[in-house]
Amino acid sequence: MIGNVASRKWMRNSATDNPRFLAIMIGEFLNGWRNRTAEPVKSYAEAQPLVVGQGEYLFATRCAACHTLGSGDYVGPDLQGVTAIRDRAWLSRFIKTPDRMLAEKDATALALMAKYNQVPMPNLLLGDGDVAALIAYLDAHSSAVRRSGGSQN
Task: Verify that 80 and 153 share a domain, yes or no.
Answer: yes
Sign for the CA dihedral angle at 105, 107, 113, 117 comes to positive
- Is the domain of 99 the same as that of 56? yes
- Please say which residue of 27, 51, 75 terminates a domain: 51
pTM above 0.75, yes or no: no
pLDDT for residue 9 is more than 90: no
What's the CA gap between 142 and 83, in Å, rounded? 8
Task: Report whether pLDDT(63) > 90.
Answer: yes
Boundary residue ending a domain (51, 76, 92)? 51
Domain that holds residue 3: 1-51
User: Which amino acid would we find at residue 132?
Assistant: A
Q: Please tell me whether residues 47 and 83 are part of one structural domain.
A: no
Clarify whether residues 47 and 102 are in a common domain. Answer: no
Same domain membership, residue 115 and residue 68: yes
> Could you tell me if 80 and 136 lie in one domain?
yes
| Tally of domains in the chain | 2
Cβ burial of 128 (10 Å; 0-12, 13-18, 19+) is exposed
Residue pLDDT, tens place only, 25-50: 777 776 665 555 555 556 666 767 77
